[in-house]
Structure 1
Amino acid sequence: MLTSATTNTRLSAAAHCFYMPIRVEKLNAISLCGNQDEVQHDACMIIVWGGTGTLCVNGHEHQMSRGSVFLGDAAPQPHLYWQPGATLRGIVIEYCCISNDASGTRGLDHSVPIHRCPAAIMRLAGELEIIWREPQLGGPFRLQQIFTELLTELHKELTSRQEPSNSWIEQALCYMEAHYREELTREQMADRSDVSPEHFSRMFRKYTGRTFNAYLTLLRIRSAQRQLLTGISNLHVLAQEVGYKEGAYLSRKFKESVGLSPTHYQRKKKRIAALNLNHTASLLALGITPEIGVYTPWLERRQNTPGKIQMLDPYVSTPAAYYEAVASSHPDVIISYNTAVENKSLLPLAPVVELPFMTMSWRDQFRLLADIVERREHAEEWLLRYDDLVSSINEQLDRQLGDRGTAIVWEVCQNAAYCFSSSYGRGCQILYDDLGFRMPEQLMEEGIASKGFVEATIEAIANYPADYIFITDLPSCADGQQQIHKLFESARWKVLEAVQQKQVYILNDAELFYGYDPLSSLAQLHELVQVLGGTHHNNTK
């Protein structure tokens, strides 16, 4: 039995650290100036979610942009300032670190800024800034909860970057993914990696969970599955495509890995995991409900297949939880964009069909998915009805508007505004590709065609004239609302031709305009035609 003295001793032996934010403010050119004496005993962090600039840390210059984070400890306090011309947007957080045994603690510290941090860190930082300014939101403990989550994510990111490098294994995997069709041996790969074959095998299995030969077979069989899904059915040709000499051998390895022959796999009704909104919606348009899919509330309401749907949240899950969620659907096929970093880790589950991001139109993505689920005729009929509708609408707009002129679509967020090319959707695929509106020359000069979007401050929206201006989303926070109100009251905004001609349309329906798929495109088409026809109420006050 523990005595009171023993209990007190054991309790006091447990030292814990606690972290508390004491100042949170928006990042600007003066955030780091003139306050060095005030924060000598506090740690700080700078999180950037937009713009570019140079941060000077103890005399050393560091370029900062979206996704950059600086972590400074309280001892010794770093000397920080911005170089002139910085346009950075983000947040500065000062926080204190205490311990229950008075031993003193340190904040998160990193000698140089870290870059390309996950979106979860940006999201938490933005939410923290809102709650700091409006503490009535979210209840009395929400601020502390968000700050703890932010510290946790930052600590995980730092830890992952400080783990011993496995660069030679990663390079070997990249080489195998590019050359699996060729004859590859463990000895060849060990020689390329400059390690012994034995060390290569040991470390390769530790890193991947598979032997070299098993991983090579996985790459080849997954490739064979993808090609069966998209049209190749001749086994001899398919064997040559994936690195085997004959179809019979491919068939045997295929059945060992998949549990079915290639022919039976090709004919089987597939369980599909759709890892983004656009492909979920494309499947729904084909009458297919994926085993697991990404839904917005808008798309969930449009889902007309009875039964409970399994929804995947691609933004907040840890990699392990994300993998388990996809695995729970037991997919035969996984559909994703080729830019998704999770694709490689999902390879053990099923073939990942990667669709090109920004280089394949929503129509072509729709057709490819239709081929996979054997509903190409259904897709072509759907597209024919859509194109007939577009043709009819254009005849109406020819009478009503004549020459379409230029149009620009803005999505206004908390701290920035974005306009897009048709490859990003947001209604631009309708305006530019279907209805004959033109993109303003200024956007072309700023390289929107190559990167798909242009980022600007909310105030700078007035610097982009167009004959028609569409705003698909407005900020929900008080500060963002003040900025948009200030824009609408500014002289530069009021002299725009679109404003004077009452050709500014406030749609404020981000869920609807986020999609780049058949269902979203059809709904966006109806919404845009409605406002152009004057039946939608517009107000920039």
Structure 2
Amino acid sequence: MSLPSTTKLSPHFFHIPTRLMGLDEEIPSARGNHQEQCYRIVIIQEGEGLLHADESSYPVFRGSVFGSRSLTELMLESIRLTPLKGLYMEYRCFCIDDSASYGIECNVPIHDIPSEILRLAGELESIWGGADQGEPFQLQHLFIKLLQEIHAETVCRSSSQHRPWVEQAQQYMEENYHKDLTREQMAAMAGVSPEHFSRMFRKHAGLTFNEYLTLFRIRKTQERLLTGSKDLNTLAQEVGYKEGLYLSRKFKEAVGVSPTDYKRKPKRIAALNLNHTASLLALGVTPELGVYTPWLQQTPHSNHLSAEHRFDPYALAFDHYYKTIASSNPDLIISYDSAMENKALLALAPVLKLPFKTMSWREQFRFIASAIDKDAAAEEWLARYDELVAHSNEVLNGVLGKRGSAIVWEICVDTAYCFSGSFGRGSQILYHDIGFQPPARLVDEGVHRRGFVEANISEIASYAADYIFITSLPNHPYGQKRVDALFSSKEWLHLDAVRHNRVYVLDQPELFFGYDPISTQAQLHEMINALTEHHKYA
């Protein structure tokens, strides 16, 4: 049935990818390209450098994305030893009524994009030029999903630029606290009177301008005292004061003790995630508040744990979350740097923020130990662990000889995940401690860049490895049915690991979720026991 002639269709846009290449190749020149409908996207997956767009230059690094029309001349330049890695894409835009085209344009790169964008880009790269004929629309689906995610992020960033001036003023203070800031300067930047600035700032932040600036400077001082020893005069200049004596006075007014006494005294610690809780327990320190799994609670390290020490961050609304942490009266809060609540918690104590998924468990363990003067205890613990690793390798040398490839799968209801050594789940042991290598397909798909690979349960059999570990199985009947179908499939049964009984179904998700000293040691025991099931291992 045809539409009435009076009906006017709204413009609808369709986007078709036409080119995808790695950044190790030269970006095509825009000269002579007059296709107005053509757009470009650059996604940085690794490295640090500069993106030159026409006559402007911008810093870019892992998690940067840039979008423009094809007429923009682009060039990338690495500025570190590690070269820039990522993707360059071109796509065409069509409209059903031949109106102007519409594509993503972020002519100044945006940074720290969500990991989902990096994951989708990596998956798109892996199937470009070789899409599975059984899923003919997979590439198109992935590309549109990627565009949606990038578009949503650019809209979000654009709206954040129009935040209330008081929020922008607060962020400016947090980024420039080491400078000589005054209320009058901040009011002039916001375009309001100093009196109005004071009223609105206090209403928004709960503190006056001077109170907030002092608090932020003192918290930064506490962080620096815990993460690096410096003389007080140098530290004062780093946080915005002219000399150490004045800093010491302001510090004691805010904290109740001098900077030296704060650094030396035992700390009441709130650890806001499992890995940092376990790191403290391995050092012989029970945090005032910590996150525990039932598995961790059953270990000898948690023998003296009481109910008030346990904290479930996922079961609390923010008001209760904040009040629970406040009730522990912490001197120090340990969290990942990606936690949205960190800023609000500064009113309670300094927040020691560790990079999320970019520090190994050993680095996190040592960092925490250094902050609480437990360096020697950490090194003793790591030395004992390394002795256990050495013994494990001696046993495996006799039982297995050459290691070969191995993969760890965590199977959920609808999806399965495998990980690089930087993400844990036992892979840190396989690849870093006992000599296994990731299978070729994982390497080809860039698991070391992204940290993990996500796959359908039915696809697990296509990741051939000499040894397969399954650390988690779904409890839901739907997921169990899909796993049963996998285990009975021809592709699975033909795998060398299956035919030679080198598949180890451990199914201990709580144990293998941990990426910390206690969990890693227990994971090592489980994996070695599985690999040496018919041999003596103690």
Q: TM-score, normalising length from structure 1?
A: 0.68
Match of residue 340 from structure 1: 339
Partner of 2:204: 207
Match status 1:353 vs 2:325: no
Q: Which amino acid aligns with 1:407?
A: A
Q: Which residue matches 1:464? A: 463
- C-alpha change, 1:295 and 1:179, in structure 2 (3 Å) is same
Report the CA distance between 1:327 and its aligned residue: 0.7
Contact 1:274 1:290 in 2 (8 A): yes
Deviation at 1:462, TM superposition (A): 1.4
Q: Which residues of structure 2 form unaligned runs of 5+?
A: 1-96, 105-114, 118-135, 143-148, 154-158
Q: Percent identity?
A: 57
Deviation at 1:299? 0.5
**SS of residue paired to 1:470:** strand
Q: How does 1:82-101 map to 2 (within 5 A)?
A: 85=138
Write out per-residue CA displacement over residues 375-409 of structure 1, whole angstroms, 9 at most, x where no aligned residue: 21111111111101111111221222222111111
Output the aligned Cα RMSD.
Answer: 3.2
How far did residue 424 of structure 1 move? 1.1
Alpha-carbon spacing, 1:342–1:62, altered in 2? closer, same or farther (3 Å): farther
SS at match of 1:423: coil
Instruction: List aligned pairs for 1:358-507, cutoff 5 A.
Output: 358-507=357-506
Deviations 1:135-163 (Å, cap 9, x if unpaired)?
xxxxxxxxxxxxxxxxxxxxxxxxxxx99
Tell me if the contact between 2:296 and 2:302 (Cα under 8 Å) persists in the aligned partners: no
Partner AA of 2:384 in structure 1: R
Matched, 1:252 2:213: no
Q: In structure 2, which of residues 179, 183, 187 is the aligned counterpart of residue 186 of structure 1?
A: 183
Q: Deviations for 1:181-240, whole angstroms, at most 9, x for unmatched residues?
A: 111222333343344433333322221111122111111100111111223252112112
Number of the residue aligned with 2:284: 287
Alpha-carbon distance in structure 1 between the residues aligned to 2:361 and 2:498: 32
Q: Provide the C-alpha distance between the structure 1 equivalents of 2:164 and 2:428, rounded to a whole number of angstroms.
A: 40
> Which residue in the other structure is 1:72 paired with?
none
Query: Counterpart of 2:270 in 1: which secondary structure?
Result: strand
Q: CA 1:535–1:332 in 2, change beyond 3 Å: closer, same or farther?
A: farther
Give, in angstroms, the shift of residue 347 of structure 1.
0.6
SS at match of 2:220: helix
Task: For residue 493 of structure 1, report the CA deviation from its aligned partner.
Answer: 1.2
Q: Which residue of 1 aligns with 2:61?
A: none
| Contact 1:232–1:238 (CA under 8 A) maintained in structure 2 | no
Q: Which of 222, 229, 238 is residue 226 of structure 2 equivalent to? A: 229
Deviation per CA, 1:430-474, whole angstroms, max 9, x where unpaired? 111101111123223323223211111111111211111111000
Between the aligned partners of 1:231 and 1:240, the Cα distance in structure 2 is 15
Residue 315 of structure 1, CA deviation: 1.3
Corresponding residue number in structure 2 for 1:518 = 517
Contact 1:293 1:312 in 2 (8 A): yes
**Are the aligned partners of 1:289 and 1:305 in contact in 2 as well (CA < 8 Å)?**
no
Normalising by structure 2, what TM-score? Answer: 0.69
Select between 426-435 and 181-190 the one with higher mean Cα deviation.
Answer: 181-190
Q: Secondary structure at the match of 1:422?
A: coil
Letter in structure 2 aligned against 1:269: P
**CA 1:196/1:406 → structure 2, altered by over 3 Å: closer, same or farther?**
farther
Deviation at 1:252, TM superposition (A): 0.9
Deviation at 1:66, TM superposition (A): 7.5
TM superposition shift of 1:172: 2.7
Distance in 2 between residues matched to 1:213 and 1:235, nearest whole Å: 21
Hey, what does 1:151 align to over in structure 2? none
Equivalence for 1:171 = 168
User: In the TM superposition, what are the counterparts of 1:314-325 in structure 2 within 5 Å?
Assistant: 314-325=313-324
Change (3 A) 1:264 1:511: same
Partner of 1:326: 325
| 1:257-272 superposed matches below 5 A | 257-272=254-269
Q: 1:115 to 1:474 in 2, by over 3 A?
A: farther
Residues matched between the structures, number: 398
- Gaps of at least 5 residues in structure 1 are 1-58, 68-82, 89-111, 117-161, 537-541
Query: 1:168 and 1:503, CA in 2 relative to 1: closer, same or farther beyond 3 A?
Result: farther
C-alpha distance in 2, partners of 1:239/1:163? Answer: 32
User: Structure 2 CA distance, aligned partners of 1:514 and 1:313?
Assistant: 16
Look up the SS of the partner of 2:314 in the other structure: coil
**Do the aligned partners of residues 163 and 322 (structure 1) sit closer, same or farther apart at CA in structure 2, a change above 3 Å counting?**
farther
Is the contact between residue 275 and residue 294 of structure 1 (CA under 8 Å) also seen in structure 2? yes
Aligned pair partner of 2:304 in 306, 326, 332: 306
- Matched letter for residue 168 of structure 1: W
Superposed displacement of residue 87, structure 1: 6.5
Q: Secondary structure at the match of 1:424?
A: coil
1:92-140 CA-to-partner distances (Å, cap 9, x unmatched) read: xxxxxxxxxxxxxxxxxxxx9x979xxxxxxxxxxxxxxxxxxxxxxxx
Distance in 1 (CA, whole Å) between partners of 2:192 and 2:398 is: 72
Tell me, what secondary structure is at the counterpart of 2:507? coil
What CA distance in whole angstroms lies between the structure 2 residues aligned with 1:484 and 1:167? 51
- Over residues 29-74 of structure 1, what are the superposed CA-to-partner deviations in whole Å (9 max), with x where a residue is unaligned? xxxxxxxxxxxxxxxxxxxxxxxxxxxxxx9x999x989xxxxxxx
The 8 Å contact of residues 225 and 351 in structure 1, kept in 2 or not, is answered as yes
Label 1:535 to 1:222 Cα distance change in 2 as closer, same or farther (>3 A). Answer: farther
CA deviations 1:492-512 (Å, max 9, x no partner) are: 111122112211110100000
Q: Aligned partners of 1:187 and 1:497: how far apart in 2?
A: 72
Q: Give the CA deviation at 1:534.
A: 2.2
